[in-house]
Amino acid sequence: MSHQQRALRIVTLFMLLSLSGCASWFANDTLDPQVHLLKVEVVRAKLLEQKFMLYFRVDNPNDSDLTVRGLVYRIHLNEFLLAEGESSKWFTVDPKSSSYFEVPIRTNLWQHLREVVKMLKKRDQPIPYHLEGELKTGIFIGNDVHLARYGEIIPGDFIPE
């Protein structure tokens, strides 16, 4: 075996060993943040427009800061689409901690008025809701976290006596 072949083999072996270290650059051992819907508040309810405020908490289980770039959401109340949209509020969640944020939503329930009135007549009967969306995180390399939450609201909690 000539010196040239031996040198080529050594260089090839060295390159292969060094490339295996590069693979760890792209390994993603971070955990997804947890997103919790804490509260739905009625801000104003008129015949043609309803305004709500959604209150969220984001838990960062990792050892590094989490930059949140916004939230894309769809909310279904019972069987119909209540609201959909996007919040573009940026904030940072410190490592191993939580941060709170609010999302204002507007909707028009006029087309679903009959169903809504029927649901609201039963003040103590829970109404199921479904929240789905994406929490946009990261600055240069984005990591969108998909979320789906199911729950119930009780009309009597939102309507004064």
For position 151, what pLDDT does the model report? 86
What is the model's pLDDT at position 85?
93
Q: Which residue has better confidence, 106 or 15?
A: 106
Range 46-52 average pLDDT: 84
- Of 10, 32, 7, the closest CA to residue 145 belongs to 32
Confidence band, pLDDT 50/70/90 cuts, at residue 149:
confident
35: Cβ–Cβ under 8 A, 6 or more apart, which residues? Answer: 56, 57, 58, 59, 71, 135, 145, 147, 149
Mean pLDDT of the chain: 83
Which domains occur in the chain, in start order? 27-157 (2.60.40.10)
Cα 132 to Cα 66, 117, 156: the distances in Å are: 21, 25, 25
The confidence band for 39, taking pLDDT boundaries of 50, 70 and 90, is confident
Q: Which two tokens stand for residue 31?
A: 């955990």
- Summarised one tens digit per residue, pLDDT across range 71-111 is 999 988 888 888 899 999 999 999 999 999 999 998 887 77
Q: What is the pLDDT of residue 9?
A: 80
pLDDT higher than threshold 70 for residue 117: yes
